[in-house]
A and B are shown apart, each in its own frame.
Chain A
Amino acid sequence: MKRFAFACYVSAATLLFSRCTTVIDAKLDTGPSELSVDGLITDQPGEQTIRLTQTAGYFDSSTPPAATSATVTVSDDAGKTYRFLDPDNDGYYVWQPTGKDTLGRVGRTYQLTIVFRGETYRATSKLNRVPPVDSLVFVKRKINPISTTEGYRAEFYSTDLAGATDYYRVRFFRNGVLQNKARNIILSEDGAFEGASQVTDGLLFIAPIRLSVNPDSLYKQNENVKIELHSVSADAFRFWNLLRGQVTNGGLFATPPANVPTNILNANTSGPKATGFFITSAVRSLSATVSTPNLRERPY
């Protein structure tokens, strides 16, 4: 929230001050390669995927080397174990449901176990509750205050679940395409900003979060928009928050560069470390088309 406030401030200050960013050459040391985990388990039907790669030099822009030949299992606190397999040897380990089976269940705790190159890595995460997305509406607006071009601004409505601190990640799709730039990482604590749980517990999501699901150019008539609301654990919220800080860094009030945390721990504490995160989410979604039934008038 603070960074957002300062973005406003700094852009206003740009009226007065010239600021400049330049791409420069930097010589960096490269450390040894480590296991990296990109794991998201949901309560949605269908297959579930965990991607294993290895870290590379910071400026190495090739596809990261896959971590292959690993044994990957997920077990829950009800005693069930799910095996993830990588038949294509590309680092994407997949669990295929049989019939209508789903993997994730709200309230259960999941443990990920990876055996890779003789080391055993584990991560634990609870799959938390999530409220539904109640509605999704659009308001006709100018793209920006000094433009004459108009578009449609989306606003979704959801109400935080009362009684505990809930952490959410919001994703949105434009005509089926996930909007996934760094500034599209939308995080919320109890429907508001980080730290707000004591004041917004059980409240309707606050306006800045409701309005965060828009591309720069707003939506056009008849476009389809889908909102996904994910529950995340407190640790995963912190991970995403720091990740967002690192990939949107810059400016006067940048977060000093630092490693984002990981929940992937080597059973052998003196063995090689791992990066990445194992996240479990319950997901609720809602789609709507930019058309007359979904248009509203708003004073703001």
Chain B
Amino acid sequence: MKNDIQFWIVCTFVSLLVVSTGKAQNGQNTNTLDTYQTNSNRTAALTVSGYIKDAANGEGLIGVSVYVKETGTGAVTNNYGFYGVTLQPGTYSLVISYVGYAKQTKTVALSDKNVRLDLELEQEGKDLQEVIVSTKREDDNVKNIEMSVNRIDVKTLQRIPALLGEVDVIRSIQLLPGVSTVGEGATGFNVRGGSIDQNLVLLDEAPVYNSSHLFGFFSVFNPDAVKDVKLIKGGIPSNYGGRIASILDVRLKEGNAKKPELNGGIGLIFSRLSYERPLFKGKGSFIVAGRRSYADILAQPFLNSDLKGAKFYFYDLTAKGNYRINDKNTVFLSGYLGRDVFGSDFGFNWGNTTLSARWNHVFSDRLFLNTTAYYSNYDYSLNTDLKGKRPNDFFKTDSRIVDYSLKPDFSLFLGKNTITFGGQSIYHDFQPGMATAASGGSVRTFGLESKYALENALYVGNEQQLTPKLQLQYGLRYSLFNYVGPGEAYVFQTDVPFGQRREVITTLSYKGNKTIKTYGNWEPRFSAKYELNGNTSLKLSYNRLAQYIHLISNTSASTPLDIWTPSTNNIAPQIGDQIAAGYFKNFGKNGQEFEASVEVYYKWLQNQIDYIDGASLILNKYLEGDLLKGKGRAYGAEFFIKRNTGVVNGWISYTLAKTERQVAGINNGDWYPTRFDKRHTLTSVLLFDPPNAKRWSFSATFTLASGTPATFPTNRFEFGDFVVPHNYENARNNYRIPAYHRLDLAATLQGRKRPGKKKEDNWVFSVYNAYARKNPFSVYFQPNADNPRVTEAIRYSVFATIIPSVTYNFKF
């Protein structure tokens, strides 16, 4: 009840803020009489707005700068390529600029009507040779209020040397400051000391619960279909929520709206094919892109009867279409479908399905609405009889998580203020485990109760140009979470020593959609930017985020079979607070050749989940009794320098960080470093375009990182014939494994262009782990196989050798 009231208070607050900011606007500009009646004949502020697209394929461009020379103000296009600038009547020069595209200047005369100005920008230098690594706006680093944000455009992504030649979004973002991983091949990524479930991975606004193929070796995003990748590590605006560490916002291409296009590639792991074309006489377009691994197809003829039918593959299919109904309405439909299947007799499979439908509506030249409805499904299953040959003897479990959501998001362009407001409702359906066992012909089925939850949020935010030098972005989000029936809720013992299993005392049954437990959180967000001069700025941010779903894993690297659970009466929501401050500077030729930044951050995390030793995850109805609750802290500094232009460009980043947890019952209640804590991380990406070798381009990446923590024994004891490691102090993560470093190289050879032919192609040669270092993934302790009484420390490397590869890409 209390939370419902809070919810409505927020609603009211949102509407009041929207109105009052509008009023404040009037107060500041005495000439403005009424910001809402823009079409009246009175002297009023007028708006220039429209879509900015790529002339080559009609894709909406995200983050294009629209700068008004006369007033020194401007705007940036949103995620759909829409912008709005509010001005007094007069004649203005608008400079539209976007890295990699030819700059345009347009003269706009505003007298008594708003102006709609849709533009198409031409790419500068079409071939891959002239790739420019950059954030989108030339001076974005300094001028944009966003901090702790990294963008990678697809062209850069395609240049970075890739494992087995497979261009990969998640592996590439691990080259950015503040992003790390437990080790190569591990699922997911860690941002500023957050665990992998604390990243909200969005594919056209639908969450992807497992972003990996083949564990973490490859990610589910098909680079041929991806348009833009943005990682937000801090200063997270109020329109995002639900995870406490970061937002990885992946946007798909809309498909070429000008002409049909066929892209493809043949690599060692995947083969790829995508097709895009205009629809409805240029009023729409679509793209379909698919990939499949083919190790199994290649191997099939060589397998004898027993291994025939062994399954070993993964695939994904990505599609998106859009239709522009008229100037004011555009609809988009995007979908993803992917699956990994592995095993012979005993095997498992997992996959994500997402579907998102969006409607862009321009109410007026100032008010833009995007409404997204999405469906996201992640399911996984284990089976002892993957080939289906033993109907009388098998054991399998199936689990899934399904989300349905509706999310209206408004942008209101009011000159010096850009207000965003909206809300989101998500219905979560968790099926933690459904088991079927057949033994000797008897078949039984048992399912854990599904868990249901409703997650709602309302938010409002404003980006305000206070003075020419000072810009603010502030907002508030209220999230309300209901853990609802039908289902059972458990009450556990409380008087158990920390670190031991709590047994269930009472089971409560809930019918219908009755609320079992409610949590509500206010999530304030704040960012400020102060420009010291045209090339230098200081930025500051604070955000609080709440997270109501949790991933429980009891292995070193997360597996696709780990358990997702909502917050329940026993699991409190995770809360993360972060403050960050940064210094941003651009310098060099034209003041934009280099961009540099230094950021420091400190994070506090509440209600972090850990588990007792030996917690049982699979099919455990009373899993909550095995969980422990603790807190976390993470702090660090990130240094970043990037050269945007030149024969040699790229970036170097260095991160100094510390990440700790404190959980009663673990490490004797003392703070301990997390499994992904790395004190130092240095990464560099260099792209080299030799001026006298037109068809060749080269790239290299280098990574150097401190070893991750591990628990080492101090003693041993014998039990039966087994020598068992034992830590006298019962410490966790008391040692560190050796440091990690790796060099990767790649060379791209463009195919010769034949006059009059549309075909373009290239060969990418890459070398992963160029000096064949045996990088440690873990160090563990084991008895010697021949003499069990002799115990050994063993370093385990995922890739212990140099891995060369070649990929062929083509485009028609």
Complex Cα–Cα for A145 and B183 (A):
33
Given A19-B800, A247-B783, A252-B557, A146:B390 Cβ within 8 A: no
Residue in A closest to B445 when the chains form the complex, CB atoms:
A199
In the complex, the answer to whether A24 meets B395 with C-beta atoms within 8 Å is: no
Task: State whether the Cβ of A101 lies closer than 8 Å to any Cβ in chain B.
Answer: no
Task: State whether the Cβ of B496 lies closer than 8 Å to any Cβ in chain A.
Answer: no
Given A23-B793, A53-B718, A180-B721, A250:B780 Cβ within 8 A: yes
Complex Cα–Cα for A61 and B791 (A):
7
Smallest distance from the beta carbon of B791 to chain A beta carbons, Å? 6
A24 contact from B299, B445, B710, B794, Cβ within 8 A: B794
Task: State whether the Cβ of A28 lies closer than 8 Å to any Cβ in chain B.
Answer: yes
Task: State whether the Cβ of B717 lies closer than 8 Å to any Cβ in chain A.
Answer: yes
Task: State whether the Cβ of A107 lies closer than 8 Å to any Cβ in chain B.
Answer: no
> Which one of B25-33, B461-469, B724-732 contacts A?
B724-732
Task: State whether the Cβ of B450 lies closer than 8 Å to any Cβ in chain A.
Answer: no
Given A8-B346, A19-B798, A64-B718, A25:B793 Cβ within 8 A: yes
Chain B contact residues: helix, strand, loop or mixed: loop
In the complex, the answer to whether A207 meets B439 with C-beta atoms within 8 Å is: yes
> Which one of A75-83, A113-121, A123-131, A255-263 contacts B?
A255-263
Residue in A closest to B783 when the chains form the complex, CB atoms:
A247
Given A5-B346, A193-B618, A300-B393, A58:B794 Cβ within 8 A: no
In the complex, the answer to whether A5 meets B618 with C-beta atoms within 8 Å is: no
Set of chain A residues within 8 Å of B787, measured between Cβ atoms: 61
Task: State whether the Cβ of B797 lies closer than 8 Å to any Cβ in chain A.
Answer: yes
Smallest distance from the beta carbon of A145 to chain B beta carbons, Å? 3
In the complex, the answer to whether B439 meets A250 with C-beta atoms within 8 Å is: no
In the complex, the answer to whether B711 meets A257 with C-beta atoms within 8 Å is: yes
Q: Give chain B interface residues in 764-779, CB to chain A under 8 Å.
A: 774, 777-779
> Which one of A92-100, A220-228, A235-243, A288-296 contacts B?
A235-243
Q: Give chain A interface residues in 4-24, CB to chain B under 8 Å.
A: 4-6, 8-9, 12-13, 15-24
Chain B: interface residue total (CB-CB under 8 A)? 101
Q: Give chain B interface residues in 332-380, CB to chain A under 8 Å.
A: 342-348
Given A8-B342, A56-B715, A255-B554, A20:B797 Cβ within 8 A: yes
Task: State whether the Cβ of B8 lies closer than 8 Å to any Cβ in chain A.
Answer: no
In the complex, the answer to whether B723 meets A247 with C-beta atoms within 8 Å is: yes
Given A2-B382, A61-B789, A253:B556 Cβ within 8 A: yes
Per-residue A-contact encoding for B78-115, CB less than 8 Å = 1, 0 else: 00000000000000000000000000000000000000
Smallest distance from the beta carbon of B584 to chain A beta carbons, Å? 38
> Which one of B200-208, B253-261, B304-312, B401-409 contacts A?
B304-312
Set of chain B residues within 8 Å of A242, measured between Cβ atoms: 613-614
In the complex, the answer to whether B384 meets A238 with C-beta atoms within 8 Å is: no
Set of chain A residues within 8 Å of B675, measured between Cβ atoms: 256
Complex Cα–Cα for A242 and B611 (A):
14
Smallest distance from the beta carbon of B379 to chain A beta carbons, Å? 16
In the complex, the answer to whether B215 meets A252 with C-beta atoms within 8 Å is: yes
B796 contact from A4, A9, A25, A250, Cβ within 8 A: A250
Complex Cα–Cα for A31 and B675 (A):
23
Complex Cα–Cα for A275 and B127 (A):
67
Residue in A closest to B500 when the chains form the complex, CB atoms:
A261
In the complex, the answer to whether B304 meets A26 with C-beta atoms within 8 Å is: no
B800 contact from A18, A142, A250, A300, Cβ within 8 A: A18
Residue in A closest to B438 when the chains form the complex, CB atoms:
A206
In the complex, the answer to whether B614 meets A241 with C-beta atoms within 8 Å is: yes
Task: State whether the Cβ of B799 lies closer than 8 Å to any Cβ in chain A.
Answer: yes
In the complex, the answer to whether A195 meets B618 with C-beta atoms within 8 Å is: yes
Complex Cα–Cα for A26 and B712 (A):
9
In the complex, the answer to whether B306 meets A5 with C-beta atoms within 8 Å is: no
Residue in A closest to B778 when the chains form the complex, CB atoms:
A254
Set of chain A residues within 8 Å of B619, measured between Cβ atoms: 195-196, 198-199
Task: Report which residue of B183, B718, B774, B798 has the largest number of chain A beta carbons within 10 angstroms of its beta carbon.
Answer: B718
B389 contact from A4, A60, A257, A299, Cβ within 8 A: A299
Complex Cα–Cα for A242 and B501 (A):
15
Task: State whether the Cβ of B604 lies closer than 8 Å to any Cβ in chain A.
Answer: no
Task: Report which residue of B305, B719, B728 has the largest number of chain A beta carbons within 10 angstroms of its beta carbon.
Answer: B719
Set of chain B residues within 8 Å of A215, measured between Cβ atoms: none
In the complex, the answer to whether B614 meets A238 with C-beta atoms within 8 Å is: yes
Set of chain B residues within 8 Å of A238, measured between Cβ atoms: 614
Complex Cα–Cα for A5 and B557 (A):
15
Complex Cα–Cα for A276 and B570 (A):
32
Task: State whether the Cβ of B269 lies closer than 8 Å to any Cβ in chain A.
Answer: yes
Residue in A closest to B719 when the chains form the complex, CB atoms:
A38
In the complex, the answer to whether B395 meets A192 with C-beta atoms within 8 Å is: yes
Q: Give chain A interface residues in 52-73, CB to chain B under 8 Å.
A: 53, 55-61, 63-64
In the complex, the answer to whether A23 meets B792 with C-beta atoms within 8 Å is: yes
In the complex, the answer to whether A36 meets B717 with C-beta atoms within 8 Å is: yes
Given A56-B716, A199-B437, A203-B444, A21:B559 Cβ within 8 A: no
Task: State whether the Cβ of A200 lies closer than 8 Å to any Cβ in chain B.
Answer: yes
Given A12-B312, A247-B722, A275-B717, A22:B774 Cβ within 8 A: yes
Smallest distance from the beta carbon of A215 to chain B beta carbons, Å? 14
Q: A2-B618, A22-B794 are in contact. List 10 more A-B contacts (CB 8 A).
A: A15-B312, A53-B718, A58-B715, A145-B303, A203-B444, A247-B783, A254-B780, A256-B675, A258-B732, A261-B614
20 contacts between A and B (CB under 8 A): A2-B382, A5-B382, A5-B561, A19-B798, A28-B713, A29-B714, A36-B719, A56-B715, A63-B789, A64-B717, A180-B720, A196-B619, A198-B619, A204-B439, A252-B557, A256-B556, A256-B675, A257-B780, A259-B727, A275-B726
A residues bordering B, Cβ < 8 Å?
Answer: 1-2, 4-6, 8-9, 12-13, 15-26, 28-34, 36, 38, 53, 55-61, 63-64, 142, 145-146, 157, 180, 182, 191-196, 198-200, 203-208, 238, 241-243, 246-261, 275-277, 299-300
